[in-house]
Amino acid sequence: MVQKISYKTKQKEELLSYLETIPGVHFTAADISDHFRAQGKSIGITTIYRQLDRLVEEGQVSKYYIDESSSACFEYIDPENNCHHPHCYHCKCERCGKLIHLDCHEMEGLLQHISKEHRFLIDPMRTVFYGLCADCQKGDIHTESNP
Amino acid sequence: MVQKISYKTKQKEELLSYLETIPGVHFTAADISDHFRAQGKSIGITTIYRQLDRLVEEGQVSKYYIDESSSACFEYIDPENNCHHPHCYHCKCERCGKLIHLDCHEMEGLLQHISKEHRFLIDPMRTVFYGLCADCQKGDIHTESNP
DNA sequence: TTGCGTGCAAAGGTTTTGCATGGCA
DNA sequence: TGCCATGCAAAACCTTTGCACGCAA
């Protein structure tokens, strides 16, 4: 496994600079493309995919497949204030589409139970809980993102 | 919300008959298409998608997005011997791709905790736990489905 | 100069839609 | 006879790949 030499390019730097301003926020490749187009400094979608792939490999970005028949979802992991400590999980509201960060210490006990009793080692960073967020539970009002 | 009248067609019946033989097994729309083509009684892929969508709405089939950049995964829910009682969950091995049914009573306490303390109502039928299965944990041997 | 990075265009794959035809009630 | 269901073809999407050019080291 030979590590390739990596060049420092303008696109790479601008992408990382931007990502550093949105730790913990989830986004798609298209979101990034839109952001830079709006700024007048457009980056090719191919480059965005390639850079994100690299960052995922390096562990600086997480990749999720959350939305149905939709695009992959990425998230920058702040190395300073790392949200991805052992008790940070993701919840996705099936009604309004919100993605919520869940900080729950009780989960660890369950993960251990499942590991010991069921022999399955859960990867919290990849697992997403689907359900209803607090807002959407209230009165079961229809709060679809597209009205 | 007016319920549309549903006709009983040959394709619909054959699809449901087949699904009833594979409760709890996960499959893609293409799998179904292949199955019927092999049987000589081909069903259009469009019809398969439309029937599966309907079955998902009716709750007889679950739909998951499990594999990365790949196709959606369906599963027939046996109404007789319903695996989807309140403590049946799905685990997907990230290494070998196996989909495991996890029957765990301890999960309920956690779901209640998350509902009460974090105000998120988890839907167990939609949630998939990612991680490593027992086999793939052993010695960390490479057991990719494509050798 | 070397070879990685970029971005356009095109390909690849899955799912959805339009539309004419077929079949159930 | 109505109206839903079917399936072909085409469109819509997201993502990856090929390739020529640009640029960092």
CATH class for the region spanning B8-79: mainly alpha
Crossing angle (nearest 10°) for helices A10-20 and A29-38? 100
pLDDT digits (tens, 9 = 90+) for B79-103: 765 555 556 788 877 776 677 888 8
Q: Is A46 exposed, middle or buried (0-12, 13-18, 19+ CB in 10 A)?
A: exposed
Q: Which two tokens stand for residue A29?
A: 């490749």
The kind and range of the H/E element at A121 are strand A121-122
Spatial contact of A65 and B68, defined as CB atoms under 8 Å apart: yes
Q: How high is the pLDDT of residue A147?
A: 31
What lies within 8 Å, CB to CB, of A62 at 6+ separation is A56, A74, A75, A77, A84, A125
Neighbour-count burial of A147, counting CB atoms closer than 10 A to its CB (0-12 exposed, 13-18 middle, 19+ buried): exposed
Query: How many residues are recorded in chain A?
Result: 147
Percentage with pLDDT > 90 across chain B: 35
Please, what is the Cα angle at A14 between A13 and A20, to 5 degrees?
90
Angstrom distance (rounded) from CA B24 to CA B114: 27
Least CB–CB distance from B127: residue in A104, A119, A130: A130
The CATH architecture annotation of domain B85-147 reads 2-Layer Sandwich (3.30)
pLDDT of residue A142: 45
Which DSSP helix (H) or strand (E) runs through B32? helix B29-38
pLDDT value, residue A51: 97
Q: What pLDDT is stored for residue A135 in this prediction?
A: 86
How distant is the alpha carbon of residue A132 from its chain centre?
19
Q: How confident is the model at residue B43 (pLDDT cuts 50, 70, 90)?
A: very high
Say how far apart CA B6 and CA A91 lie, in whole Å: 35
pLDDT tier for residue B123 given thresholds of 50, 70 and 90? confident
Q: Reading across the β-sheet that carries A73-76, which strands appear in turn?
A: A26-27, A73-76, A61-64
The larger pLDDT score, comparing residue B145 to residue B21, is at: B21
**Residue A26, H or E segment:** strand A26-27
Shortest distance between the Cα of A40 and any Cα of chain B, in A, equals 30
Q: Give the span between the Cα atoms of B15 and A92, in whole angstroms.
A: 31
Instruction: For residue B137, give the nearest of B103, B107, B100, B111 by alpha carbon.
Output: B100
pLDDT given for residue B79 in this prediction: 72
Say what the pLDDT of residue A145 is.
38
How confident is the model over B8-20, as pLDDT tens digits?
Answer: 999 999 999 999 9
Q: Can you give the pLDDT of all 147 residues of chain A as single tens digits? A: 556 788 999 999 999 999 999 987 889 999 999 999 999 999 999 999 999 999 999 889 988 877 665 788 898 988 766 555 556 788 887 777 677 888 888 888 888 899 999 999 988 877 888 888 888 887 554 443 333
Rounded Cα distance, B47 and B38, in Å: 17
Tokens 């959407």 — which residue? A136
Would you state the pLDDT for residue B127? 82
Interface A-B, measured as beta-carbon pairs within 8 A, has a size of 99
Comparing CB atoms, the residue among B102, B127, B134 nearest residue A129 is B127
Beta-carbon neighbour count of residue B114 at 10 Å?
A: 21
| Token digits of residue A102 | 């869940």
Domain ranges for chain B: 8-79, 85-147
**Length B15 CA → C24 C1' (Å):** 17
Give the per-residue pLDDT at A86: 54
* Alpha carbons B52 and B15: distance in angstroms, whole number: 9
Cβ of A123 within 8 Å of Cβ of B130? The answer is: yes
Contacts of B65 in chain A (CB under 8 A): 65-66, 68-69
Residue A76 host element (H or E): strand A73-76
